[in-house]
Structure 1
Amino acid sequence: MRGIVVKTDVSTTPEYKTVNKTLGAFAKKANESNLTGGVDDFDRAWEELIQDINDGTIGKIGSSNVDVSINSQGNIRFNSPVATYEKTYELYRKGATDLKYETYQKIVLNYLKNPNGKYKLKNYEAPKTVDSNTPYVLVIDEINRANLPAVLGELIYALEYRGEQVESLYSTLDEGNTLILPENLYIIGTMNTSDRSVGHIDYAIRRRFAFVDMLPKVLAIDNFESVIFEKVAALFIKNFKEYQEDNTVVLQRSEYLSEEFRPEDVWLGHSYFIKTGSDFLTRKKYEIIPILKEYINDGILKETAEAEINSLLK
């Protein structure tokens, strides 16, 4: 959910920062939807000050007699000392930082807060927590293709404690070393059960997700090749006609399917049979038939299925 990135350019020393990755950033948005009120005008005031320094409108700040400039990382430089955005913002929110000396951060902050000055930064007030009930849905396609414990990291534990603070290995400026997965955040992972990698999802992941089968079906669209779909389905399912009428029936293994496999796990999905161009024969010849024959080589389909597969070209 979080990680360390390097920010630099050719003229500066590399700067290492902890940032929220996709999951962490999305969780933060979901959490923010449950907050109301509060005062945080820092970004507006900081950006205006940076612009004025860059334009040459401001050369010195507050009690400092040193000319100021903006370095390549967007921070305010007082000759050698630098007031960074991160530490100045931390001082604004928390009233203190972990710096031994906060001299230049205080100079900038007091300058921004000056009621007689241009920026008139208001004192920070924390927002209040409310239940917005606004759903945030994160969809992870083919979730099984990644090393999930490594990718999800602290998320594995945070899923167990919805709405509670969970400690992170990394600390960010505004969230510290904690993270929260709110109740209004939903995570949907899709996977193809015919992929061998599905079997490698460990139980720590499995017990934190609900598994729902989404089986192939005839699509009621003009460009769906339903005849070929039904012929291929018959290689896996004996009672396909019954399933079409009632999708709650238990699927029966066809005579062509090996006893080691369930039809639900290896049946070709309906996306194969959506015609995207005028030449569906090419898809049959170079996509559908080859994978079905590979199923024979892998022992998923029996050799008796080969004649039925070849008949698809007729």
Structure 2
Amino acid sequence: MTEQEIKKGIKDVCEISSEIATLYADNNALVAKLNSVPQDELQKASDYYASRSGVIVDLRKDVLKYLKDGSKLDLTTLEGFIVKHKTGKENQYRAYKNYYSIFFPIITFYGHNPIREFIDQFIFEIINRLQLKDKVKHIYFDFQGARQQGSDRLWFALFNKNQATQSTGLQIFSDFHHGTIKYGIYRHSDASYIKGPIELSPENFDFEEMLKFFEENKKLIIDDEPIKDKLLTIPLYQNRLYKISHGSFKTKANESIRDVFKENQWIVIHENTKKGQAEAFKNDLTEGDFVYITIGGNELFAIAKVKAGSWGYVPEDITDENGWIYREVEYVKSAINPDPSPLKSLKEFIYPSGNSTFTEITIDKIEEANRNIFEPHFGVEFISKGATKIKEQGEFQKHPNNIILFGPPGTGKTYNSIDKAVEIVTGIKSNHEDSKEIFDKLKKEGQIEFVTFHQNYSYEDFMVGIRPDIEFDQLRFKPYRGIFYEIAKKAKENYLASKEQTALAKSFSQVFNEIIKPIEEKNESVEITMVSGLKYKITDVSDTTIHFTKPSGGTQHTLSIQTLQDVVEGIKEVTSGLSVYYNPLAKLIQEKRKPSGSGQKEKLKNFVLIIDEINRANISKVFGELITLLEEDKRIDAKNELRLTLPNGDKEFGVPPNLYLVGTMNTADKSIALIDIALRRRFEFIGYFPDYSKLEESDGDFLKHINKEIYSRKKSADYLIGHAYFMTVIDTFKVIKNKIIPLLMEYFSGKTEVVEEIFKNSSWVIKYDIEKYDWIIQPAN
């Protein structure tokens, strides 16, 4: 290739990356692009899909037919097509994050062929000039994306030929994104740049400089051989070990499909796989479990660790078939001897030739699997004795236990608290959209809780207290357990069960509901045997009260469900005459709560409580004695562990080490008490400030001007204005009128002349009309 051809090719790819960025952000631009696709490309795309069908494919075929017939789309028509096909099939659409991810094939399948040809030639030009032939493998994905869901970037990578994928070692990479080209040496395993990156506009790109950079660093790739001689020991702890076979895609014709699985670090199975394998893949496989991946009986590929997150559908463009589902994994070790021939005669399920797609390698089979599979073919041994030990505290505390995200308004504190909570629980960072989906699931399961403080929030709301019992005509009170008490209790139960290597005991509510099931379902009373041998009957249950009939036949007697729970959990003893009714029922529940010996051992989990606007309450009053218990060295099993007696009678309350607090604090709100010194020293503070790079250039420059003026007057970053104000709506005029000006008027005590002065020399002309008592807002140009 000539230098001129390379320069033109780089310019073309960068221009298309800019166009794709626009199509991502603007659905109207996408519609215009779809309307401009030439008829011959529409026909080729129609021919490609003619013999195919699927949830997304059928939608694309409808749109293609509409365009081929000479009709022009508008956004309303396009959305009508989507609603028609999506209704009732929402789950299959879950992975498609925007309209481009659905309709990109119409634009890219044939319209992007010229840049594909260029990239192919460009890669081989680099390999030849660097004399890397027979030393590296290469891979690239264009704007269709590795997951066939569209992408706003095109990238390629060169990596050592003995590595399983570019993800398992170092890579020379080049990335085209939003109009620029970036290149360097990258390591996927820890997302780090070893050399570079260098990012350039196409006008500033110099191929000779790129080659010089790669030449200086190519030895890193050549020397990046997989480690073969060292035996890697992997303790299972509470995790499980599985075999997953991709045998359905073992033929040479399906190699490209396997490459997609490898690039995305997916393991896959069809949702119709029999013998409960698909259900186990969906529900039993959990974060931290290990799998060894085999391509049927043809090839051993890698050992991987399951990432957090639920299963999803593989886009049908990848497999040409509906119903394939995936889980995300992280590669731990590639096969050092991928040839499974020595194992051909072994037909048990755990072996590559065994008649199973997904199967667990149980503890009793690990020694055999180590000897025959893992040690000779992967250089790995799994040890099950780790399953009898709990991880040491330092192993799971990767984050500070108490964090406050602070900063001026609109800087994304609450937004980022969601991402931070998910990262603490799952151990991985995701984009916000994925994190929010995981957050909602974890919140529903009780592993994450969210509360907003306000001036009337109290210790009784947060920890324990009493509240009026509205079920009775006369005034009386009932115990109340706050959000912190409840999540601390869940975290403690998980921590202790995982430490003791037992299954988690059933909850009080779970067992109680089992006992009263006949009342709920059949309207039949439930008999409880007393110590005397007599029986009383539970006849009805409300949200807070148990109604029962005495053995003598006396009716209209009641027990408190909350008191019963306190007795079950050892918080309270009943000494009144009602003890003869509370105690046998409590004993029955205690027995039923005990985990069975065959129950699955509890895995250690992290729990997170997000406290939004933490400084809007009287926090010393809200936290009470928790101020001491929150310290990491005062938590359960820590060096200086403390447990306290609470007002509700709980004599052994402590905060477990697997409970994390994430607070947010608006530094501009000075009308309320700030964090006091006692609590402040127990939290780590992470600042959030305006990020102008997240905005359009004009809005970013305008906001930067405002903040500079605010800082010059307030002499503090506490009062700056965050970028989020300009990210929620498109109309900058409305943002200025309805959000920015009212906030500035509050900052500067209603002085219109000061606010006018702040906007002076900005990209907007903003003045106060003293006749209309309103603001005049106009662009400067």
Same fold, judged at TM 0.5 (above): yes
Which of 659, 662, 665 does residue 185 from structure 1 map onto? 659
Which of 530, 540, 544 does residue 70 from structure 1 map onto? 540
- Is 1:104 aligned to 2:581, yes or no? yes
One-letter amino acid of the structure 2 residue matched with residue 210 of structure 1: E
Native 8 Å contact 1:159 1:181 kept in 2:
yes
Partner residue in 2 for 1:35: 496
Partner residue in 1 for 2:607: 136
1:94-120 CA distance string (max 9 Å, x none): 6x934155333455568x59xxxxxx9
One-letter amino acid of the structure 2 residue matched with residue 64 of structure 1: L
Give the Å deviation of 1:76.
Answer: 4.8
Partner residue in 2 for 1:243: none
Change (3 A) 1:66 1:134: closer
Counting only pairs closer than 5 Å after superposition, residues 84-233 of structure 1 correspond to structure 2 as 85=561, 97-101=573-577, 102-106=579-583, 108=585, 133-160=604-631, 161-163=634-636, 164-171=641-648, 176-197=650-671, 200-220=674-694, 224-233=695-704
One-letter amino acid of the structure 1 residue matched with residue 765 of structure 2: S
State the distance in 1 between where 2:606 and 2:528 align.
Answer: 45
Native 8 Å contact 1:76 1:84 kept in 2:
no
One-letter amino acid of the structure 2 residue matched with residue 99 of structure 1: T
Partner residue in 2 for 1:287: 739
Name the SS of the counterpart of 1:229 in structure 2: helix
Partner residue in 2 for 1:7: 469
State the distance in 2 between where 1:194 and 1:41 align.
Answer: 43
1:218-247 CA distance string (max 9 Å, x none): 244xxx34423322323434xxxxxxxxxx
Change (3 A) 1:104 1:255: closer
State the distance in 2 between where 1:65 and 1:137 align.
Answer: 44
State the distance in 2 between where 1:295 and 1:68 align.
Answer: 61
Give the Å deviation of 1:269.
Answer: 0.7
Task: Give the stretch that moved more between structures: 56-65 or 202-211.
Answer: 56-65
Give the Å deviation of 1:70.
Answer: 3.2
Give the Å deviation of 1:214.
Answer: 1.0
Give the Å deviation of 1:270.
Answer: 0.8
Native 8 Å contact 2:508 2:593 kept in 1:
no
Partner residue in 1 for 2:484: 23
TM-score w.r.t. the length of structure 1 is: 0.69
Which one has more relative contact order, counting CA pairs under 8 Å at least 6 apart? Answer: 1
Give the Å deviation of 1:297.
Answer: 4.3
One-letter amino acid of the structure 2 residue matched with residue 157 of structure 1: T
Which of 715, 719, 739 does residue 261 from structure 1 map onto? 715
State the distance in 1 between where 2:546 and 2:470 align.
Answer: 13
Name the SS of the counterpart of 1:201 in structure 2: coil
Native 8 Å contact 1:82 1:104 kept in 2:
no
Partner residue in 1 for 2:406: none
Partner residue in 2 for 1:236: 707
Which of 509, 512, 518 does residue 52 from structure 1 map onto? 518
One-letter amino acid of the structure 2 residue matched with residue 24 of structure 1: Y
Native 8 Å contact 1:41 1:121 kept in 2:
no
Native 8 Å contact 1:41 1:122 kept in 2:
no
One-letter amino acid of the structure 2 residue matched with residue 6 of structure 1: P
TM-score w.r.t. the length of structure 2 is: 0.31
One-letter amino acid of the structure 1 residue matched with residue 539 of structure 2: S
Name the SS of the counterpart of 1:156 in structure 2: helix
State the distance in 2 between where 1:170 and 1:155 align.
Answer: 13
Structure 1's unaligned 5+ residue stretches are 114-119, 238-253
Change (3 A) 1:256 1:103: closer
Structure 2's unaligned 5+ residue stretches are 1-462, 767-777
1:121-175 CA distance string (max 9 Å, x none): 5585899xx9955222221111111111122223212113222343243226xxx
State the distance in 1 between where 2:651 and 2:465 align.
Answer: 12
State the distance in 2 between where 1:17 and 1:40 align.
Answer: 22
Change (3 A) 1:17 1:124: same
State the distance in 1 between where 2:537 and 2:698 align.
Answer: 78
Name the SS of the counterpart of 1:196 in structure 2: coil
State the distance in 2 between where 1:287 and 1:123 align.
Answer: 53
Native 8 Å contact 1:236 1:267 kept in 2:
yes
Give the Å deviation of 1:68.
Answer: 5.3
Which of 701, 723, 729 does residue 270 from structure 1 map onto? 723
Native 8 Å contact 1:4 1:16 kept in 2:
yes
Give the Å deviation of 1:305.
Answer: 2.9
Give the Å deviation of 1:65.
Answer: 6.6
Name the SS of the counterpart of 1:99 in structure 2: coil
Partner residue in 2 for 1:311: 765
Give the Å deviation of 1:43.
Answer: 5.3
Name the SS of the counterpart of 1:5 in structure 2: strand
Change (3 A) 1:302 1:162: same
Give the Å deviation of 1:18.
Answer: 4.0
Native 8 Å contact 1:53 1:70 kept in 2:
yes
Name the SS of the counterpart of 2:679 in structure 1: helix
One-letter amino acid of the structure 2 residue matched with residue 162 of structure 1: R
Give the Å deviation of 1:82.
Answer: 4.9
Native 8 Å contact 1:42 1:121 kept in 2:
no
Name the SS of the counterpart of 2:465 in structure 1: strand
Change (3 A) 1:152 1:181: same
Native 8 Å contact 2:609 2:660 kept in 1:
yes
Change (3 A) 1:219 1:126: farther
Change (3 A) 1:144 1:167: same
Structure showing greater Rg: 2
More strand by proportion, 1 or 2?
Answer: 2
Partner residue in 2 for 1:116: none
Change (3 A) 1:179 1:131: farther
State the distance in 2 between where 1:65 and 1:231 align.
Answer: 77
Native 8 Å contact 1:40 1:125 kept in 2:
yes
Write out the 4+ residue segments of structure 1 that deviate beyond 6 Å after TM superposition. none
Cα RMSD (Å) of the superposition?
4.1
One-letter amino acid of the structure 1 residue matched with residue 739 of structure 2: E
Change (3 A) 1:170 1:206: same
Change (3 A) 1:273 1:14: same
Change (3 A) 1:153 1:132: farther
Give the Å deviation of 1:304.
Answer: 4.6
Name the SS of the counterpart of 1:75 in structure 2: strand
State the distance in 1 between where 2:707 and 2:546 align.
Answer: 63
One-letter amino acid of the structure 1 residue matched with residue 685 of structure 2: F
State the distance in 1 between where 2:728 and 2:525 align.
Answer: 64
